[in-house]
Amino acid sequence: MDGMTRAESGASASGRDATLDLLKGAGCLLMIMAHSALKLQNYDEFTFYGGLAPVMFFGPAAVTASFQVGRHKPRGVLVTYLFLLLIGFSFNRITDVGFLGELEMDMLQIIAVGAALIFLLELYVRPRLWVYLLFGVLFFAGKFLVQDLLRGISISGVTNLIAPPGVFPIFPWLFLFFFGLFAYRVRNVFNLVIAVGCAAAAFLLRELGVTLLIRNKWDMTIGYFLVCAILWFGSVFVLRAVPWFRNARVLGWLSYLGRNSLLFLYVHFPLILYFKEVRNLRTVPVIREYPFLFWLIILALTALIMLLLLRLARWERLASVFDHLAVWILITIAVFAGGLLIQDDDLVYVLEVSLGTTAALFFPRLVGILKEKRRAPAARPAPQAETGAVRGVGSAGG
């Protein structure tokens, strides 16, 4: 791991890294804050903090993608990401009625693209570790160049995928995937150095009179870029430096959210919309007095519904239906057919929530279908001159 031990990373004997689950779990909490967008008292500030949730998802997605190299055949991995990208448009509909009018990458699309890119780089290029840090900076800086080149040009279904004002365009949001893998592999002290360095850079720029605009997320200013870097590198440093955070008894509930973050995405957002727009829970006196109770209600209900759904997914007769690739192709078709053929917005909304939640619940089944494990190469017989000892046992290639 380029200087990181298994104990330091929090990896279990099964290969799953508790650190990544905790980061994604923290991202789930931030998403509740962001999507609630409570305009009560001074809670607008928390909407900004919650908007940093993608930082906690994109980095771990890159690390997980790198794990696939050598374990699974490339075709299966890439097709899995393709399904995530396409089925992920069901979430786009939850947030945007006209989700097929102008194709944009929301969270699941950029995760699919970023993870696939990391996988291909690791498989075919294997760049040096510090190259990933450079790529991250270049993809952020490239946003300004691409915006300048596209000034006055609007290509439907293309422009917003590449640069702002798209939701999560390639430039600059892929920078978090490169930073993600770099932070995971580098010696932890460098994560601290980079986090402190970015904070110092922000302070210095402000003192020099540079307008940082740290709240400008969607156009990704240099100020917001520095805030993302501080949060990411700082979070990884703390989680790796303090063993307490990897104690399952202490933060097991947060790891639970992280392990099931895809399902969390599809459950929490409709709940927020329901209690804000239909029930208007914000008008309840106790909520107006203590707005954070709204977050706790959403978190509790989301966790409860997730628990019930995950129990349902254990019913083998139901789950086995999703062991067939044809079922997943039909789900993917339905995601787009619903938006194109059904005129009732409310009906399309219910359909997309149902399709997305179902896909999130049984996505491990799809992974099992597509990601065929590589067979370990047969051991070559030892040369006659050897006395039975086989060279290279325990090496990286063994």
The total of other beta-carbon atoms located within 10 Å of residue 315's CB is 9
Fill in the DSSP letter of residue 156.
T
Per-domain residue ranges of the chain: 6-370
Q: Residue 225 in 3-state DSSP?
A: helix
Instruction: List the structure tokens of 172.
Output: 């600059």
Cα-Cα-Cα-Cα dihedral sign, residues 222, 223, 226, 232: negative
Contacts of 393 (CB under 8 A, 6+ apart): none
Contacts of 176 (CB under 8 A, 6+ apart): 54, 55, 58, 59, 62, 114, 136, 228, 232
pLDDT per residue as tens, the chain (398 positions):
444 544 444 554 345 788 999 999 999 999 999 999 998 888 888 999 999 999 999 999 999 999 999 999 999 999 999 999 999 999 999 988 878 887 899 999 999 999 999 999 999 999 999 999 999 999 999 999 999 999 888 887 789 999 998 999 999 999 999 999 999 999 999 999 999 999 999 999 999 999 999 999 999 999 999 999 999 999 999 999 998 877 767 788 999 999 999 999 999 999 999 999 888 888 899 999 999 999 999 999 999 999 999 999 999 999 999 999 999 999 999 999 998 999 999 999 999 999 999 999 999 999 999 986 555 544 444 433 333 332 232 333 33
pTM of the model: 0.89
With beta carbons less than 8 A apart as the criterion, state whether 66 and 118 touch.
yes
Phi first, then psi: give them for residue 221, nearest 5 degrees. -75, 170
Fill in the DSSP letter of residue 378.
P
Q: Which of 309, 302, 356, 353 is nearest to 32 (CA)?
A: 302
Instruction: List the structure tokens of 262.
Output: 């895809």
Helices (H) and strands (E) in the chain, counts: 20, 0
Q: Provide the residue count of the chain.
A: 398
Distance (Å, whole) CA 361 – CA 370: 16
With beta carbons less than 8 A apart as the criterion, state whether 226 and 201 touch.
yes
Distance (Å, whole) CA 314 – CA 10: 28
